[in-house]
Amino acid sequence: MSFDIDNPPVEPPADCRHRLLWRLARTLWETHRPDSTSFCMATGTWHPNQREPCQPARLAQEGMRTACGESTPTSPPWLTVTRERLAAGEIDPMDAVAEALWHRRHTHRSGR
């Protein structure tokens, strides 16, 4: 991966394939990421063993990995949720157009 999964950047990395998915997952991560004492403010709980992120934070990490092309157990649901949110109009159409243009430009250059 081109990013630190425990401290992911706000903006999608350059090699991110699904930038809107990144933003959805990154938003979930921001809500659930552990503080310096491994405490999740959103759930009001300590992370298991104070070493691992809580379940929603781990889900967010898998979403960011999926966005960058890695296959994870939750990849199919993440992709489905992103498509459903686009179809339902829950994602700004300008973001969707920007995503499509970005994806088109980058997949044609790399031959994917």
- pLDDT, residue 8, reads 93
Per-residue confidence (pLDDT) for residue 38, from 0 to 100? 74
112 residues of the chain, pLDDT tens digit each: 688 988 899 999 988 988 889 998 999 898 888 777 777 777 777 665 556 677 888 889 999 999 999 988 888 888 888 788 878 877 776 676 666 666 566 655 544 4
Domain ranges of the chain: 19-110
CA distance 70 to 16: 10
How far apart (Å, rounded) are the C-alpha atoms in residues 99 and 24? Answer: 13
pLDDT at 112: 47
Residues 6+ apart with CB under 8 A from 46: 38, 39, 40
**Claim: this prediction has a pTM higher than 0.75:** no
Helix (H, G, I), strand (E, B) or coil at 35: coil
